[in-house]
């Protein structure tokens, strides 16, 4: 691994050179010092992709449509429109998708209504952590694509992390999903069925602590949600619209994360859906972010933070800045100060920062910051008036980071089939799939 010293004297948002840190300068690790996480070829480099490798579309489902659309679809199938209300209440209120469990639907009609409720996500495996308060699922979709979701119980809330795409085209080099490339966008109903199953699991007491209510949904699983914009917006409506239209969840409990699709942030701000925006920033300077988050080659840090500030002004929702702390790469004090200056330059009270200790990967450059570096980073932000909370890393002992479980299961299956466990979804695999 090549180590380089910081090549550029850091500047604040106003161009003032920052004080040099006291003591010997720490080495600076660059994302390009080794191939992306999970890549098999030593020369592999992250490749942005916006085109889905798979062409197929998920079967049409009740949850793809709003209530008026469901009534129309039932009418066209020769069924009374009022049955759309009944089916919707079963699905969004009782979390039931099997016609056999719907006692108010005549037995003679159950086969006909089943066409609106095709099974969309099938469990491959479920792993528990945190003494049963965290459950990570690997789901298989109709075409064999696999996605993950994580259900996490906290004292004051229960949160589901959902996937919005199979694979991801954003190619972040530290992320296992990023090396799979984009298989395809999930349909609205494929996203929503992950949520229905989580609601059902909560109500049935599948998490330790007994029955609970799913209060929060975060779009931080596989995929870049804003790259699947239309289906994301439909899914947000299904989440917040009151039953029987949707689940009737509070928009305040819903978070959409992005690595920085700036025009889509502007569109989301105009949707009238006051969900929280989380920006996965991970570096406050273009020099590092160009390598760490490949989409930064299109939209720079300044444009991204301007869009995030605009989102706050348009919605009144405070923006979250997600910052994975990676040892000797992005965790220097001067970067914390630069981040604070960039945020403060755009106003106060509009943003808070969530540093996230990276899941340690022994022997890799993608490893967690030391506790000392983490504390200095957090204190630097707080001293500059930026509200900062270290984010909990639930389920880190169950292939907790996005894409790790899918990769681990695929490797296991390849071993059983007698094939070499090449890293799932390496750029080479992605090319083959296309
Ligand atoms: S970190 Fe998120 S946006 Fe980046 S490759 Fe992974 S899933 Fe995609």
Q: What is the mean pLDDT of the chain?
A: 88
Whether residue 5 is predicted with pLDDT greater than 50 in this model: the reply is no
SS3 419: coil
> Per-domain residue ranges for the chain?
62-114, 120-416
The answer regarding whether domain 120-416 maps to CATH 3.40.50.300 reads: no
282 is in an annotated binding site: yes
Q: What per-residue confidence (pLDDT) applies to 130?
A: 92
Q: Higher-confidence residue: 421 or 186?
A: 186
Report pLDDT digits (tens) over 286-331.
999 999 999 999 999 999 999 999 999 999 999 999 999 999 999 9
Kindly give the number of the ligand 1 atom that is closest to the alpha carbon of 220.
2
Q: 161 an active-site residue?
A: no
Lowest mean pLDDT among 241-255, 280-294, 356-370: 356-370
Whether residue 85 is predicted with pLDDT greater than 50 in this model: the reply is yes
Cis amide leading into 244 (omega within 30):
yes
Lowest mean pLDDT among 102-106, 209-213, 351-355, 389-393: 389-393
Whether residue 39 is predicted with pLDDT greater than 90 in this model: the reply is no
Give the N- to C-terminal CA distance of the chain in Å, as an integer.
Answer: 31
CB 211, CB 204: distance < 8 Å? yes
What percent of the chain is predicted at pLDDT more than 90?
Answer: 73
- Ligand 1 center to 18 CA (angstroms): 31
| String of DSSP letters for 134-150 | EEEEEEE-TTS-EEEEE
Q: What per-residue confidence (pLDDT) applies to 6?
A: 36
- Ligand 1 center to 219 CA (angstroms): 11
202 is in an annotated binding site: no
Q: Kindly state the average pLDDT of the residues 278-291.
A: 97
Q: How many residues does the chain have?
A: 434
What percent of the chain is predicted at pLDDT more than 70?
Answer: 85
Q: Higher-confidence residue: 47 or 171?
A: 171
pTM: 0.89
H runs (alpha helix) in 273-426: 286-292, 301-315, 333-344, 371-383, 404-416
Whether residue 25 is predicted with pLDDT greater than 80 in this model: the reply is no
CB 190, CB 59: distance < 8 Å? no
* Closest by Cα among 224, 215, 199, 367 to 299: 224
Lowest mean pLDDT among 66-80, 179-193, 349-363, 394-408: 394-408
Report pLDDT digits (tens) over 193-212.
999 999 999 999 999 999 99
Q: What per-residue confidence (pLDDT) applies to 23?
A: 56
Q: Is the dihedral of CA 350, 354, 355, 356 positive or negative?
A: negative
One of 148, 190, 291, 342 is an active-site residue; which one? Answer: 148
Q: 402 an active-site residue?
A: yes
pLDDT band of 401, cuts 50, 70, 90: low
Asked whether 261 lines ligand 1 (CB < 6 A), one says: no
The answer regarding whether domain 62-114 maps to CATH 1.20.120.350 reads: no
Q: Rounded to an integer, what distance in angstroms lies between the CA atom of residue 43 and that of residue 36?
A: 9
């Amino acid at each position: 691994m090549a180590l380089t010293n910081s090549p550029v004297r850091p500047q604040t948002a106003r161009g003032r050179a920052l004080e040099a840190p006291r003591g010997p300068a720490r080495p600076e690790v660059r994302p390009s010092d080794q191939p992306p996480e999970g890549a098999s070829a030593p020369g592999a480099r992250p490749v942005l992709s916006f085109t889905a490798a798979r062409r197929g579309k998920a079967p049409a489902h009740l949850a793809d449509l709003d209530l008026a659309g469901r009534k129309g679809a039932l009418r066209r199938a020769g069924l009374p429109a009022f049955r759309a209300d009944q089916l919707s209440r079963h699905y969004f209120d009782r979390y039931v998708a099997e016609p056999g469990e719907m006692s108010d639907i005549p037995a003679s009609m159950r086969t006909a209504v089943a066409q609106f409720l095709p099974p969309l996500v099938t469990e491959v495996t479920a792993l528990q952590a945190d003494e049963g308060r965290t459950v990570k699922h690997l789901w298989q979709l109709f075409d064999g694509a696999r996605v993950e979701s994580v259900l996490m119980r906290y004292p004051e809330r229960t949160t589901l992390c959902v996937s919005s795409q199979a694979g991801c085209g954003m190619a972040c080099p530290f992320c296992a999903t990023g090396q799979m490339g984009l298989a395809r966008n999930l349909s609205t109903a494929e996203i929503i069925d992950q949520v229905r199953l989580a609601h059902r699991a909560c109500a049935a007491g599948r998490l330790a602590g007994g029955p609970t209510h799913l209060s929060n949904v975060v779009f931080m699983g596989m995929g870049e949600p804003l790259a699947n914009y239309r289906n994301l917006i439909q899914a947000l409506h299904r989440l917040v619209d009151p039953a029987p239209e949707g689940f009737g969840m509070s928009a305040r409990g819903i978070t959409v994360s992005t690595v920085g699709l700036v025009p889509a942030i502007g569109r989301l701000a105009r949707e009238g859906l006051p969900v929280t925006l989380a920006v996965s920033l991970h570096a406050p300077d273009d020099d590092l972010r160009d390598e760490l988050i490949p989409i930064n080659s299109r939209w720079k840090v300044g444009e991204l933070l301007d869009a995030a500030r605009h989102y706050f002004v348009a919605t009144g929702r405070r923006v979250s800045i997600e910052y994975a702390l990676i040892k000797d790469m992005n965790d220097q004090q001067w970067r914390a100060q630069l981040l604070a200056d960039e945020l403060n330059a755009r106003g106060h009270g509009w943003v808070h920062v969530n540093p996230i200790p990276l899941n340690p990967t022994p022997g890799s450059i993608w490893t967690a910051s030391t506790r000392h570096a983490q504390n200095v980073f957090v204190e630097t932000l707080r001293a500059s008036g930026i509200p900062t909370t270290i984010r909990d890393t639930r389920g880190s002992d169950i292939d907790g980071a996005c894409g790790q479980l899918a990769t681990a299961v695929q490797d296991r299956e390849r071993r059983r089939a007698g094939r070499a466990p090449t890293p799932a979804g390496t750029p080479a695999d992605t090319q083959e799939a296309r």
